[in-house]
Structure 1
Amino acid sequence: MNLFGSNGQPRVLCLDLGERRIGVAVSDLLGWTAQGVEVIDRKHSIPWLERLDQLIKEYEVTEIVVGLPRNMNGSIGPRGEAVQVIAEEVANHTSLPVRLWDERLSTSAVEKTLISADVSRKKRKKVVDQLAASWILQGYLDAHRR
């Protein structure tokens, strides 16, 4: 597998893991910005890891970031422990490096932004996971660019 995208730059994919839905975002070719890609429904007919494989191939991904939910004091609770197990599963399945990244307040920040933009509750539900993945990935990209 090529370690870099078509232009020689590594691409990073981010997962915001929920119990039912997984928000997906990917870095641009320069590794500067995060763009939401889609929301994978874990209960859909196609297994989500199979869809992840398709996205990795399509975007020539070389690294995966997984949002790690932490408690406000920084500790990891039951949800964070479950995410760690899934992240390990993703690493074993894809053979790509998987990085855990603090996702505290990402979903609530996205929700506030959508509410202030007067997006209906129904529409928010469809995009919040994807936007949260973008938020998480952008934080990761910004921190690693400095």
Structure 2
Amino acid sequence: MAFDYGLRQIGVAMGNVLLGTSQALPILRAKDGIPDWQAVETLVKEWQPDLLLVGEPINMDGTESELSKRANKFGRRLHGRLGLAVEMVDERLSSFEAKTLSRERGHSGDYHREPIDSLAAELILQTWLSERD
């Protein structure tokens, strides 16, 4: 299960390592980067992933950003609350790629009304899957 961490919403996607597939799941709302932990726990209980992936929004030059510090903290909290292994995944271009893909699929460009965070989470998951080959 992959998460595209954000301060107002967190994209989620689920994948299957054996099949190499992924699918976007509903977005989790967050308040200043803090999700409804009950909703996170419910989602994890429903899908029963073996591993949690969190996109790490590092700067293009490879340095840590303020948001990447918060994403790492989110990853540590996921591990602490759920007891599952958590891996951070470089997501430098996932949001850009998600916007490009969504425009190609006819997205209106209004990302507030039609968020693409779960598509970004799916791209994070696909990046991780491709790195395993």
- Is 1:88 equivalent to 2:84 in the alignment? no
Q: Which residue does 1:22 correspond to in 2? A: 10
- Is 1:137 equivalent to 2:121 in the alignment? no
Deviates most, 27-36 or 119-128? 119-128
Amino acid at match of 1:59: W
Contact 2:17 2:129 in 1 (8 A): no
TM-score normalized by structure 2? 0.89
Aligned residue pair count:
130
Q: Which residue does 1:49 correspond to in 2? A: 37
Change in Cα spacing, 1:110 to 1:91, as seen in structure 2 (3 Å) is same
- Is 1:66 equivalent to 2:54 in the alignment? yes
Q: Considering only CA atoms, is the larger Rg found in Structure 1 or Structure 2? A: 1
- Offset, 1:125: 4.7
- Is 1:128 equivalent to 2:116 in the alignment? yes
The separation in 1 between residues aligned to 2:93 and 2:113, in whole angstroms, is 17
Contact 1:62 1:96 in 2 (8 A): yes
- Offset, 1:50: 1.1
The separation in 2 between residues aligned to 1:68 and 1:42, in whole angstroms, is 17
Change in Cα spacing, 1:29 to 1:143, as seen in structure 2 (3 Å) is closer
Amino acid at match of 2:99: E
TM-score normalized by structure 1? 0.81
Change in Cα spacing, 1:72 to 1:123, as seen in structure 2 (3 Å) is closer
Instruction: Tell me the percent identity.
Output: 28
Which 5+ residue runs of structure 2 have no aligned equivalent? Answer: none
Which 5+ residue runs of structure 1 have no aligned equivalent? Answer: 1-12
